[in-house]
Structure 1
Amino acid sequence: MPRWVNRPEGSNWGDFGDDDQIGRMNLITSERRRAAMAEVREGIAFTLSLPLNVPTIPLTPFRRPPLLSAACDEEGDMYNRLDPNGEESTCDDRVLLYTQHSTQWDALSHRGRTFDADGDGVAELVYYNGFRAGDHVSGGEGAAGAPCARALGIETLATAGVQGRGVLVNLKAAYGTEYRPITRDDLLRAINAQRVEVRTGDFLLLYTGVDRMLLDREARGKDVPLAMAGCALDGRDESLLQWIIDSGITAICSDNLAIEALDLILSPEPPPIRLPVHDLCLFRQGIFLGELWYLEELAQWLGERGRHAFLLTAPPLRLPGSVGSPVTPIATV
């Protein structure tokens, strides 16, 4: 039996195959990877991740900094452990890791919703391409009996080869750092002014300056709210959502908390779809989302040279069943 009979409006379910789990990553062909490599002129690499323990002051109560400790056995900690010869030593460690605390990828299993996929008049909880809650997501047991994504886990992105052409739009340069929901017209105005060419299969990076706000917050050690800071995509703008569909981009990444404006989810009476960009990208279109990336240095370097494109390499952890992953992206210019 097929997993779904109906597909959501504005979705591409089935376009890449009935069992597809990587969505628009399918658009990154060998030819497009070679074109991305042609953007490398200087051979300079920029690391686009925050330190994995940042923010040390959590932004949400359910995502915490990693806890690093020594690996241990019956003899104690595996740190400065002398070998039998008494002259050499070994150090091993372990970590308790919240996979979406710092610079991260969202897996397609990160957001789902109720939808009548099988056409029986009853909505069920489903994810991209009709994969089901229970059967496929949190439907099996991972390590130590924990729930896991048997389909749409982050390992599907890891094995897809996350390397291609990245383009950066500097929203901070266009609109400053005050809170501003970005409409389609706002985005296109910045794209045109900065002469950004967006191609099918591109990774779209949006620089807002929130990375610097976050690092300054760390330096001050004060719990400064950042949910309503800087530019963020306005998911209420249907024309913006349609532009995302039509653009052919394979992922959207930003230095802010959630890519999109959070006023809907923070509203006292939020609508049924509280994160419309997440719904469009992760649930309907299979467009991966990268959050809390560090883009300040790359944005400055590109802006000074009137450039916007680069080779992006950004594989997540190949951690089967996880709904997200830390990432250390590299932009090569």
Structure 2
Amino acid sequence: MAGCGFDDLPLTRPGPPLNAWGLYGEGDEYGRLNLITAQTVQAGLREAKEGITINLNLPLDTMPLNPTRAPLRHEIIHRTHCNDDHVSFNTQGSTQWDGFRHYPYLNYPEKQQYIYYGGMTSDEARDRSNHRCGIQNYAKKPISGRAHLLDIASFLERHQRSPLSYFDASTPIDLETLESCAAESRVVFKPGDILIVRTGWTEAFFGISEEERQSLPHRQKRGSCGVSSDPEVLRWHWENGIAAVASDAVAYEAYPSVNSPSIHETFLAGWGMPIGELFDLRELAAECKRLKRWTFFFTSMPLYVNGGIASPPNAQAVL
């Protein structure tokens, strides 16, 4: 089954569309992270040529974009001669990885409920005593290896194409744009690679006033740019052997999605592929442009929380 093609999906029948359940064995909890091997990590290390390290994380106290997510709370605890501190935060309040227990298939009539990766039910996914498919798996098998930046924002500007809409509408990045940007950047995908897409959302967010930023979570329709969830785009991700995806936007995919299944449903619940959101790609994009090289070593060590839903990525790029 390791050579499973996109047209072979879904593997579990009856089951939700495009699921790859069972591809890596019954009870698998790593999904596409199985594509990250010693060989793919070594290939990534060979891309660390200049020894330039770049942080990819926004501060943990960045304002959450979802009004239901609490902001970071930081308390300093003085103990006679030294200090401790206590930090409390929503793991999806700033730069984040979505875990496999975060987002399910929304329409699965055979089960009459929401279903997560491998057939996990809603009751199982919200049970703290059940650690199956928890975020600890991202820590046990760290998301590290060869990565590519597709700088879509710069590509659109360079070719005088219409810019993306960051806050007012769901602007999709189509397959032609992804492929053209990859070709222009001399990006060649291999199985186990990590794909990072820059939309320019971070610059737009910090370019508006504080009052405008505070109003974003309370919009009637919280639209955002991102990758299209058209079937041809899903096929492109699968056939390129991508192990994990991330972007600087709020959902990786254009939100709200106009397709079913969406990228969140397909990648998280169907394939077991991590989705990274709100990555800070400003310095990385500048260095890639300066070096004219958009492939690098990527490493991320998420929090080791048994049964966790999501995590800050603690990610860096090494050029």
TM-score, structure 1 as length reference: 0.82
Return closer, same or farther for 1:251/1:122 CA change in 2, 3 Å cut-off: closer
Bigger shift: residues 125-134 or 42-51 = 125-134
Q: Please point out which of 308, 316, 325 is paired with 2:294.
A: 308
RMSD, matched Cα: 2.2
> Which residue does the alignment assign to 2:269?
283
Return closer, same or farther for 1:312/1:133 CA change in 2, 3 Å cut-off: same
Is residue 249 from structure 1 mapped to residue 242 from structure 2 by the alignment?
yes
Checking the alignment, whether the CA contact within 8 Å between 1:7 and 1:13 is kept in structure 2 is no
> Which residue does the alignment assign to 1:163?
144
Query: Quick check: which one's strand share is greater?
Result: 1
> Which residue does the alignment assign to 1:262?
255
> Which residue does the alignment assign to 2:25?
17
Offset, 1:218: 6.5
Letter in 1 for 2:188: E
Q: Please point out which of 43, 50, 75 is paired with 2:51.
A: 43
Give the fraction of aligned pairs with identical amino acids, expressed as a percent.
30
Deviations 1:183-214 (A, max 9, x none): 11221111112221122111100011111122
Offset, 1:324: 0.5
Return closer, same or farther for 1:169/1:263 CA change in 2, 3 Å cut-off: same
Letter in 2 for 1:68: H
Counterparts of 1:130 and 1:114, CA distance in 2? 13
> Which residue does the alignment assign to 1:90?
82
Return closer, same or farther for 1:133/1:90 CA change in 2, 3 Å cut-off: same
Q: Please point out which of 307, 315, 318 is paired with 1:329.
A: 315
Counterparts of 2:111 and 2:297, CA distance in 1? 45
Counterparts of 2:215 and 2:199, CA distance in 1? 17
Q: Please point out which of 227, 230, 233 is paired with 1:233.
A: 227
Is residue 60 from structure 1 mapped to residue 66 from structure 2 by the alignment?
yes
Deviations 1:70-89 (A, max 9, x none): 3xxxxxxx31x22xxxxxx1
Is residue 99 from structure 1 mapped to residue 105 from structure 2 by the alignment?
no
Matches within 5 A, 1:95-134: 95-113=87-105, 121-134=110-123
> Which residue does the alignment assign to 2:190?
199
Return closer, same or farther for 1:324/1:122 CA change in 2, 3 Å cut-off: closer
Could you tell me which runs of 5 or more consecutive residues in structure 2 were left unpaired when the two chains were aligned: 1-11, 158-162, 166-170
Offset, 1:217: 3.7
Return closer, same or farther for 1:116/1:59 CA change in 2, 3 Å cut-off: closer
Letter in 2 for 1:66: L
Bigger shift: residues 319-328 or 42-51 = 319-328
> Which residue does the alignment assign to 2:160?
none
Counterparts of 1:54 and 1:17, CA distance in 2? 39
Counterparts of 1:196 and 1:218, CA distance in 2? 36
Is residue 175 from structure 1 mapped to residue 163 from structure 2 by the alignment?
no
Deviations 1:244-276 (A, max 9, x none): 1211101110001111111447xxxxx7x4x70
Whichever of the two has the greater Rg, that structure is 1
Checking the alignment, whether the CA contact within 8 Å between 1:66 and 1:97 is kept in structure 2 is yes
Checking the alignment, whether the CA contact within 8 Å between 1:114 and 1:123 is kept in structure 2 is no
Return closer, same or farther for 1:199/1:51 CA change in 2, 3 Å cut-off: same
The 3-state SS of whatever aligns with 2:122 is coil
Is residue 150 from structure 1 mapped to residue 131 from structure 2 by the alignment?
yes
Could you tell me which runs of 5 or more consecutive residues in structure 1 were left unpaired when the two chains were aligned: 71-77, 83-88, 142-148, 266-270
How many residue pairs end up in the alignment? 294
Return closer, same or farther for 1:67/1:29 CA change in 2, 3 Å cut-off: same
Return closer, same or farther for 1:198/1:224 CA change in 2, 3 Å cut-off: farther
Deviations 1:77-117 (A, max 9, x none): x31x22xxxxxx12111122101000000001111135659
Is residue 184 from structure 1 mapped to residue 178 from structure 2 by the alignment?
no
Deviations 1:212-251 (A, max 9, x none): 122234767743649545x41111x211111112111011
